[in-house]
Structure formats: structure tokens, C-alpha cells
Copies of this chain bind each other. A is one copy, B any other.
Amino acid sequence: MTDLTPLGAALRTALDGRWAHVRQDARERLTAEEFMPDPTLDMEAHRSRTFDQMRRLAETGQPREGFPVEYGGKDDVGGSVTAFEMLAHGDLSLLVKAGVHWGLFGGAVANLGTQRHHEQYLDAIISFDLPGCFAMTEVGHGSDVQSLRTTATFDAATDELVVHTPDPSATKTYIGGAARDGRLAVVFAQLVTGGRSHGVHAVLVPIRDESGRACPGVTIGDCGAKAGLAGVDNGTLAFDHVRVPREALLNRFGDVAQDGSYSSPIEDPSRRFFTMLGTLVRGRVSVAGAAGSATKTALAIALRYAVQRRQFAAPGSDEEVVLLDYRTHQRKLLPALATTYALHFAQGELVSALHDVQTATEPDERAQRELESRAAGIKALTTWHATATIQACREACGGAGYMWENRLPMLKADTDVFTTFEGDNTVLLQLVAKGLLTGYRDEFGQMDTLGMVRFATRQFAGAVAERTVAGALVQRLVDAAARRDEAVLLDRGEQLRLFEDREAHVLDGLARRLRAAGSAPGEAFAAFNDAQDHLLLAARVHIERIVLEAFVAGIDACEDDAAAALLDRVCDLHVLATVERDKGWFLEHGRLTPARAKAVTAQVNRLCAELRPHALTLVEGFGIPHEWLRASIADPRVAP
């Protein structure tokens, strides 16, 4: 990695956070191989290359670290997710293939299975000798996992489970690894014993033998070409009364005895279901991290181009203007850069929370719920931010941004599905909002009557604590808010108060609205539906508050004064650009006067100009080794 400027290095330290050693290790370990696929490869060649990369990645031992100590791992959940985030600076086909195999498939075996599964499979999963699939989504049901139609029926006569696809809409689809490489699949199916359904459970089903032939009764299809991620072999799986031993059930949260009786440590079927899904939260946190890395790569490329490329001579001058000196260009890239910083700190807190919850000796249900809610919300905001920012970067690089050699096309195409997989963003934000409402109800009562809430909790709900880890700090800042009129927009306490107040007002309005709505069965959907945009707003402003608090905590923890001062300006830009985007709301609700709203726009412009000279330093802070950028327009030889 080229030497950083002292300020760039200090920023990097601030951003590297709790798993700095994992980031540094990745910077030293990840090789050129991990970065650019060859665009001339056809689909099969790309898949084959990704498979080979998986083998090499397994050999590094890195994928092992997130697994239990008993199987040679380190139980290092946070380190493992951070390593995944770093891998996302490279070829995203490899990333997704790794996420499917070790994260989803391996994670399901580790977290939904018990010792018998661990002993039988974990070594071969860790070494990638047993490529796996995570077969949850069906043609007919994706977001609504509870309604999956594949069945796993216990046959006491043979002590087996019969896995079956009752109709084409129950065919598993988009399953990574199914089309080419997968040998064993975790299949999510309605578990039926003695004619009674116990809801969705996970069963291990072999889909291919060692020679690569489909197992008897398993029909495998190929999803074919996609927008991106050409190296991932997504396919379909259908089962015709496929028999597996009863022990193939991943039985940590629900088991079938030899006599067909069902037992579970969790009485309530709905709570059981959400507990099972909850163990998979790591996937959402990982996708959010990967989206952040792709966004940083795109910004690094677009900003490097923006400080080199000139177009149009200024009036009265022969010298052409550098793109990033144009206000429109600053506005395209710098607020997005600021928000990328904000989301980075929020992601860091999320990973930390994930690690602490999943490695705690005593399970903490409240912390788990809060984690799930945050993971859902941050995943949604981060992946939408990635989609918008990578698109803006492409456009900001003009024709050069459309060329494969400059990486932006691949970043756009590969990440485009991040807003969909591991939970559709729109559905995820509803989960967050419903969690908020549940918390609200707990506090204020009176919401039980609503059919809406029943509908809500079907999808899952999580109580959400009032303040993030930065609680005390935030309170101090809010208390000390200056309220001096001219400086008010740049006062961190006032900014925090503005975000808190918006959240409280939106949530309060939503609760009042739903309370006023009819609760008869026929009216419940209408009431829910009428409030749906309000619901999404509530989720968004809640997560935006959490993101801001994380940024504030990150600055507070920064030990370098110059870096902290620069981060302060970046945070201002993030806040004011967020307020500007939501200006309509703030004006409509009397939170900003028209004069102050105009001042917000002026302030965004001023902050863009102020940060413009630091653009490359802020890119340095991301800590992406130059040789990883691999875009000819992002020539590293240009000094900041």
C-alpha cells in the first residue's frame, strides 16, 4: 500500500476500529487474484474461476475463524464479518459465493444444527470440500418465509424425513451453488409429523453425489445469466419425495423423536420461527458491510478521476477546470462520501453488537431483537446508499465510467441485488417500524386491538432501545446545545435533537394514526396499507438517528485531533445533506423556517467547498490499497 499522508493514516485508524488487525491482515493477504474477473470470460468460465478462488480462500484458513473453537475456529464473529467486508473490495462473485457457503450454509449448520451435525460436517464445510447451498427462497415465496410450501414429512416406518416440492411455486430458486457446485443443501421446509405441521425448519438434503450428478429425486435447474455476479451459480431445486434420515433435521430449536413426537425448547411457534431466523442475522450484517466496501471503492475511483479530469476553461483563463472544482460535481460526490463515513461507523457498531450478542455466555433476548432491528435497518439504508452512490459515481465519470476496465459497471451490476437479497429493503424497513411500534405499545399500551400489529409480528418484531451505545455522549451534547441562531445548524447537539425530534414526531403520528384506524379484520389491512409510507418513514428516520449517533461516537473515540476535526466537518455535511433531502418534512412540520431551510442548502454548498481539498485524504481514510482499485482512471500516482 502506498504511503498514506499523516492525516489519511489517522483517519484510517479511526475507521479501522475494533477489528483493525483483521483489516490490516486482509490488506496484506488478499492478492490480485481476488480482485478483477476477466470480462471476456463466459458464464461457465467465470463460475469455474470463482470455484477455484473459493478453494484458495479456504486454504488461507481465514473462513475458519468465524466457526466454533472446537472445530479449529476462533468464534470470532466480528472478525469474520470484518474479513468479509474487506473481501468485498474485490470480486463480488467470490464474495457472494463465500457468503453463501460459509456464511449462510455453514452458519445454518453451526447455529441451527447440534453436535451431531457439527461433528459430521463442519470440517468439510470449512475446508470447502463439501460445497453447500442455502435453500430458503421459493418461486412463490421470498420475503414471506413463514409461508414456504416445501414439506419435510416424518415417516415413522422408516425413521426418515420425506422432503417434497408439492407444486412448481414451491421450487427453491435463486439458490447460490445449486446450478453447478453444491453437494449438500440446507432446505427450509414445513416440518410435518403425525399429520401436524410445526412450521418452517431446516433439513440437510444431499443434492449431488461426488461425481456431480443430481441425487435421485432432486431436479436441479440453472437460473442462467443475471445482471451481475456471473461467477455465482444460482439455480433451482425441486424435490420429489426425497428421503433423508430423521437426524438430517437441524434440531437445535425443534426436534422429532423416533416416535414422531415433536419437541422444542421454545414453546411459542412464532417465537421459535423468529429465533431460528434470528441466528441468520449475520448475513444481513455482512451484506451491509459488503455494500459499504463497494461504495467506498466506487467513490475512490470517481474521486480520483474527479481531481485529475479537467473540462472547459474558466472564463478569462486558459486553464481548464478540474471536475471536482465544479459545485455540481462536488454535490454529486461529497455528500455521498460523508454519508459513507457515517454508515461506516454505524456498521462498526453493528458488527460489535453482533459479536457481543453472539458470543455472550447468557442469551439476551432483548439485545438480540435490537440487533435484528438495527441489522435490518442498516442493511436497507446501506444497500440503497450503495445503489445510488455507485450510480452517481458511474455518471460522474462519464463515458469512462461505462467502461468495464474502470470497474464501476461491475460494481453496479454485482451489488444491484444487495437491496433484495438477505431481505427486501422495503420489507426490512417495515420490520424496523413494527419493532418501534411494539416498543411504543409496550410503553403506552392500547395498541393490542390492532389487527395490524398481528400482521406486523408475523413478519417479526424487535423492541428497540431508545439510545445507541453513544447514549451518554449524545445526551451531553443535546443538553449543551448552543441554540445560538447563526451557528445552530452546525451545533452537534442541535443536530442530534433535530434527528431525535423528527423520529419521535413521526413515530408518535404513526401510532396515533394506527390507533385511530379500524381494527375489524376487513379494515386491518386497509389501515396498515394506508399507513405504509408513514411506516417506512418512521423506520428510516429512526435508523438515520442511530447512524448519526454512531458517527458522533466514532468522532469522540478518534484520538487524533486533526482527524477528529476533519471528521467533524464530514459529519456536518452528512447531517445537513440529510436534512436538505428531507427539507419538505422539516418545513411541513415547522421544524425549520423557510430562512433556515435555505441556510441548510447554503451550508451544504459551503461544506462541500470546505471538504473539496480533503477529498483524496478522506478516500485514504478508507484504507483501500491502491493496487486493489484496479481502474485505469483511478491512477494512484496522483498525489492528494
A residues neighboring B (CB under 8 Å): 39-40, 42-43, 137, 141-144, 147, 173-174, 223-228, 311-317, 320-321, 325-328, 331, 387, 391, 394-395, 398-399, 401-405, 408-409, 412-413, 416-417, 419-421, 424-426, 451-452, 454-455, 458-459, 521-522, 524-525, 528-530, 532-533, 536, 580, 583-584, 587-590, 594, 597-598, 601, 605
Q: A399, B173: Cβ atoms under 8 Å?
A: yes
Least CB separation from A405: chain B residue: B224
Smallest beta-carbon distance A580→chain B, Å: 8
Q: A326, B399: Cβ atoms under 8 Å?
A: no
Q: A399, B142: Cβ atoms under 8 Å?
A: yes
Q: A451, B142: Cβ atoms under 8 Å?
A: no
Residues of B within 8 A of A225 (CB): 39-40, 403-405, 409
Q: B426, A328: Cβ atoms under 8 Å?
A: yes
Given A39-B224, A409-B227, are A315 and B455 neighbors across the interface (CB < 8 Å)? yes
Smallest beta-carbon distance A174→chain B, Å: 5
Residues of B within 8 A of A524 (CB): 314-316
Least CB separation from A582: chain B residue: B584
Q: How far is the CA of A568 from the CA of B144 in the complex (A)?
A: 37
Least CB separation from A397: chain B residue: B420
Q: How far is the CA of A2 from the CA of B149 in the complex (A)?
A: 34
Q: B598, A594: Cβ atoms under 8 Å?
A: no
Residues of B within 8 A of A226 (CB): 402-404, 409
Q: A398, B142: Cβ atoms under 8 Å?
A: yes
Q: B404, A533: Cβ atoms under 8 Å?
A: no
Q: A521, B224: Cβ atoms under 8 Å?
A: no
Given A420-B399, A605-B533, are A525 and B321 neighbors across the interface (CB < 8 Å)? yes
Given A315-B451, A325-B529, are A597 and B588 neighbors across the interface (CB < 8 Å)? yes
Interface of A, helix, strand, loop or mixed by DSSP: helix
Smallest beta-carbon distance A570→chain B, Å: 20
Smallest beta-carbon distance A257→chain B, Å: 31
Least CB separation from A321: chain B residue: B525
From B143, B223, B589, A311 is in contact (CB under 8 Å) with B143
Residues of B within 8 A of A598 (CB): 588
Smallest beta-carbon distance A73→chain B, Å: 31
Q: How far is the CA of A405 from the CA of B226 in the complex (A)?
A: 8
Quickly give the copy total for this chain.
Answer: 2
Given A144-B312, A314-B524, A528-B315, are A417 and B399 neighbors across the interface (CB < 8 Å)? yes
Q: How far is the CA of A524 from the CA of B321 in the complex (A)?
A: 13
Q: A404, B224: Cβ atoms under 8 Å?
A: yes
Residues of B within 8 A of A594 (CB): 587-590
Residues of B within 8 A of A413 (CB): 227, 409, 413
Q: A315, B403: Cβ atoms under 8 Å?
A: no
Q: A399, B137: Cβ atoms under 8 Å?
A: yes
Smallest beta-carbon distance A497→chain B, Å: 20
Q: A398, B412: Cβ atoms under 8 Å?
A: no
From B173, B421, B532, A326 is in contact (CB under 8 Å) with B532
Q: How far is the CA of A395 from the CA of B421 in the complex (A)?
A: 10
Given A316-B522, A327-B532, A451-B316, are A419 and B395 neighbors across the interface (CB < 8 Å)? yes
Residues of B within 8 A of A458 (CB): 312
Between A227, A522, A601, the greatest number of chain B beta carbons within 10 A of the residue's beta carbon is seen for A227
Given A227-B404, A404-B226, are A315 and B521 neighbors across the interface (CB < 8 Å)? yes
Smallest beta-carbon distance A289→chain B, Å: 20
Q: How far is the CA of A317 from the CA of B583 in the complex (A)?
A: 39
Residues of B within 8 A of A391 (CB): 387, 391
Given A39-B224, A391-B391, are A315 and B525 neighbors across the interface (CB < 8 Å)? yes
From B147, B399, B420, A174 is in contact (CB under 8 Å) with B399
Give 25 A-B contacts (CB < 8 Å), ordered by A residue.
Answer: A39-B224, A141-B311, A142-B311, A142-B398, A143-B311, A144-B312, A174-B399, A174-B402, A225-B409, A227-B404, A312-B455, A312-B458, A315-B528, A317-B521, A327-B530, A327-B532, A328-B426, A398-B420, A398-B424, A399-B420, A402-B417, A413-B413, A583-B588, A588-B597, A589-B594
In the A-B complex, the 8 residue pairs with the closest CB atoms: A316-B521, A583-B584, A227-B409, A39-B225, A225-B404, A587-B587, A314-B525, A315-B451
Given A223-B403, A315-B455, A315-B528, are A331 and B409 neighbors across the interface (CB < 8 Å)? no
Q: How far is the CA of A327 from the CA of B534 in the complex (A)?
A: 10
Residues of B within 8 A of A452 (CB): 315
Q: How far is the CA of A477 from the CA of B112 in the complex (A)?
A: 66
Residues of B within 8 A of A395 (CB): 419-420, 425
Q: How far is the CA of A40 from the CA of B395 in the complex (A)?
A: 27
**Known contacts A530-B605, A533-B605, A583-B584; can you find 17 more A-B pairs with CB under 8 A?**
A39-B224, A40-B225, A137-B399, A142-B398, A142-B399, A147-B320, A225-B409, A226-B404, A226-B409, A227-B409, A314-B525, A315-B454, A315-B528, A326-B529, A401-B420, A583-B583, A590-B594
